[in-house]
């Protein structure tokens, strides 16, 4: 880890209003976005330094680990520096020779413009910081005057930038990298979105809370919740049809993947990346799910992007809370290499660090586990075809049967509670199909892709079809709470021995995993809207009274199903994780069901 050489107490604290090349709020002038900067005073005018930035729409709304933007002069925030920079990046990295920059993305907090949820405005506002640091954009000391005598230049910057952030913030970092902007050397997206379509309309489905009444999970509604409410010359809240653009572009009527969503698909631009990428994500994140990682990670590798990944067992959580010491040392060395050019060996180390279900971390040459191989399971019905056995298929049995079948299970439409229904493994239920394996003879380490293939007849042209992979067996399991976090804050503080000021203290709450003793757990789940079974860029209504083949992509995972426990496949119409949609009754051909996943089967080590 690098050494603290500079005073945090004496650091230069300033702000700048950076001019964008666009006028997104249509007030007749290009937008100005606000960036707050803290940097070591000892290096001012003596040495050019790199910057670490966190672009976010949340600075006026939410705390970061108990801290929120606080201003020296709260009566005039527009012309005031910050007295408290939220979270820990400033406390840690400023004494180590970095500038730390907090950017309020377009239309949020003290930034003008229109928030467009990961679109061109968000990207332009974040890239403007990189451009300003490299002398390609103008910045002003105040927002009223755009004259040469009011300009502020980044004379202290060496032009190299690292963008970091969790959730929305990390998604903006992904979006920046997708543009290939010069000067952005690395990004660290934590629990971040790489494809906005997969967040809003995963597999052309709608998430819970996004029913016919509109719901929060739509770009136009989300944008309104983030947009600054300041008025007049302070901040124009003049959308000029912007919300309509978001509403129409997202195409909730058909849920097709279109040009609007392609513009917000950062993973598809991996070939344009000039920045390295350090991904951190949890397999139990039910907010930003693992569908944001699997293809993205592969695309980065196929395009030769320098990369590193941490895969953990928690939810929408921060590595600062569950692996603090290793996280800080790794992040320190990552930035040293990419922003200071110090060859500290971090790029010679394994690129994957994966946590197992017991909390142990394993270093590897890649993720998913390179030694994993494809396993295929089929089902056989019992006296009631809605219940039966899950059996590993080999040879010709690995392929789903074609033609007519002698055994069909009827599945009643409806929305089930996935967690509650996962408990009962021996009870027939009209609203689910459940097929359970014999006790496993070996540990089964499932790593990466999981999918289910089914052949069904549907009663309505458009509805969901869902599947869950379940582990039956008593154990201590991690399960995210309603807030999608699997880490729980406890009433205990941790003082980190970094430099502070009375207004900006490095004191944080302690967090522990949310664990409980259970008899079952959902390993992973997946769903699809049946009218998108042939592709997400178009929809084809499911014909009635005709067999159709549907592949249900499940969320990639990294999880151990223990020897002696049983594995199960559950199929249903809809779950409470998803929005209420028209119920659909299905007929399901049992000998056409195939569960496929990559895994390593190994003798039980306990």
Q: What DSSP string describes 101-153?
A: EEEE-TTSTT--S---SSSHHHHHHHHHHHHHHTTSS-EESSSS--SGGGB--
Spatial contact of 141 and 150, defined as CB atoms under 8 Å apart: yes
Give catalytic status of residue 268 as yes or no.
no
Task: Count Cβ neighbours within 10 Å for each residue of 125-137 and write b for 16 or more, e otherwise.
Answer: bbbbbbbbbbeeb
- The 3 state secondary structure assigned to 408-431 is EEEECCCEECHHHHCCCCCCCCCC
Nearest to 158 by CA among 379, 410, 329, 339: 339
Give catalytic status of residue 2 as yes or no.
no
* Beta bridge partners of residue 164, listed in sequence order: 188
Q: How many CB atoms lie within 10 A of CB 589?
A: 22
Alpha-carbon span 523 to 420, nearest angstrom: 14
Alpha-carbon span 275 to 266, nearest angstrom: 13
Q: Give Cα separations from 179 to 71, 266, 307, 506, 570 (angstroms).
A: 33, 9, 17, 34, 41
Helix axis angle, 219-226 to 242-250, nearest 10°: 150
List the catalytic residue out of 281, 316, 485, 565: 316
Spatial contact of 450 and 557, defined as CB atoms under 8 Å apart: yes
Spatial contact of 476 and 513, defined as CB atoms under 8 Å apart: no
Spatial contact of 111 and 104, defined as CB atoms under 8 Å apart: yes
List the catalytic residue out of 56, 109, 167, 191: 167
List the catalytic residue out of 220, 256, 285, 317: 285
Give catalytic status of residue 256 as yes or no.
no
Alpha-carbon span 572 to 415, nearest angstrom: 8
* Beta bridge partners of residue 355, listed in sequence order: 361
Nearest to 128 by CA among 189, 120, 338: 120
Residue 403 tokens, joined: 């033609």
Q: How many CB atoms lie within 10 A of CB 374?
A: 10
Q: What DSSP string describes 332-387?
A: HHHHHHHHH----SGGGS-SEEEE-TTS-EEEESSSS-TT-EEEEEEEEE-SSTTE
What residues act catalytically?
167, 285, 316
């Amino acid at each position: 880890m690098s050494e603290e050489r500079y005073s945090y107490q004496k650091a230069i604290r300033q702000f700048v209003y950076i001019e964008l090349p666009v006028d997104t709020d249509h007030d007749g002038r290009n937008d100005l976005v606000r960036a707050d900067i803290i940097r070591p005073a000892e290096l001012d005018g003596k040495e050019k330094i790199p910057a670490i930035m966190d672009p976010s729409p949340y600075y006026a709304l939410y705390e970061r680990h108990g801290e929120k933007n606080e201003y020296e002069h709260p009566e005039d925030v527009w012309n005031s520096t910050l007295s408290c920079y939220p979270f820990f990046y400033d406390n840690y990295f400023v004494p180590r020779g970095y500038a730390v920059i907090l950017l309020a993305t377009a239309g949020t907090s003290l930034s003008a413009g229109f928030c467009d949820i990961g679109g061109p405005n968000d990207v332009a506002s974040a890239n403007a910081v990189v451009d300003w640091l490299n002398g390609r954009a103008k910045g002003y000391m105040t927002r009223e005057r755009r004259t040469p005598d009011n300009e502020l230049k980044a004379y202290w910057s060496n032009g190299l930038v690292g963008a970091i952030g969790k959730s929305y913030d990390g998604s903006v970092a992904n979006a920046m990298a997708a543009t290939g902007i010069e000067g952005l050397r690395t990004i660290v997206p934590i629990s971040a979105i790489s494809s906005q379509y997969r967040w809003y309309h995963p597999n052309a489905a709608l998430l819970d809370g996004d029913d016919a009444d509109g719901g929060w999970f739509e770009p136009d509604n989300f944008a309104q919740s983030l947009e600054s409410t300041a008025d007049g010359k302070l901040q124009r809240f003049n959308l000029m049809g912007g919300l309509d653009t978001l509403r129409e572009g997202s195409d909730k009527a058909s849920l097709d993947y279109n040009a609007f969503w392609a513009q917000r698909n950062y993973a598809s631009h991996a070939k344009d990346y000039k920045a390295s990428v350090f991904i951190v994500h949890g397999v139990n994140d039910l907010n930003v799910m693992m569908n944001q990682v699997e293809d993205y990670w592969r695309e980065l590798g196929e395009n030769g992007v320098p990369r590193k990944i941490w895969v953990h067992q928690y939810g929408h959580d921060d590595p600062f809370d569950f692996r603090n010491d290793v996280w800080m040392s790794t992040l320190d060395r990552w930035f040293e290499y990419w922003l200071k050019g110090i060859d500290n060996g971090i790029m010679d180390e394994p690129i994957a660090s994966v946590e197992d279900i017991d909390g142990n971390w394993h270093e590897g040459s890649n993720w998913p586990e390179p030694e994993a191989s494809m396993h295929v399971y089929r089902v056989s019905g019992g006296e009631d075809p809605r219940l039966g056995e899950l059996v590993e298929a080999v040879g010709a049995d690995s392929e789903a049967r074609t033609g007519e079948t002698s055994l069909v299970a009827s599945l009643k439409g409806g929305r089930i509670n996935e967690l509650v229904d996962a408990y009962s493994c021996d009870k027939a239920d009209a609203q689910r199909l459940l097929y359970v394996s014999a006790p496993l003879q070996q540990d089964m380490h499932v790593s990466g892709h999981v999918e289910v293939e089914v052949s069904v007849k549907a009663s309505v042209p458009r509805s969901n079809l869902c599947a869950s992979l379940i582990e039956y067996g008593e154990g201590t399991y991690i399960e995210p709470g309603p807030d999608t976090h699997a880490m729980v804050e406890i009433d205990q503080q941790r003082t980190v021995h970094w430099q502070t000021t009375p207004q900006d203290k490095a004191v944080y709450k302690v967090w522990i995993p949310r664990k409980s003793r259970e008899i079952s757990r959902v390993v992973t789940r997946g769903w699809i809207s049946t009218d998108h079974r042939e592709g997400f860029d178009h929809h084809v209504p499911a014909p009635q009274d005709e067999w159709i083949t549907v592949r249900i992509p499940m969320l990639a995972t990294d999880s151990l199903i223990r020897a002696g426990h049983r594995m199960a496949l559950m199929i249903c119409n809809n779950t409470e994780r998803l929005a209420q949609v028209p119920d659909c009754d299905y007929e399901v051909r049992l000998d056409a069901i195939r569960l496929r996943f990559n895994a390593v089967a190994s003798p039980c080590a306990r």
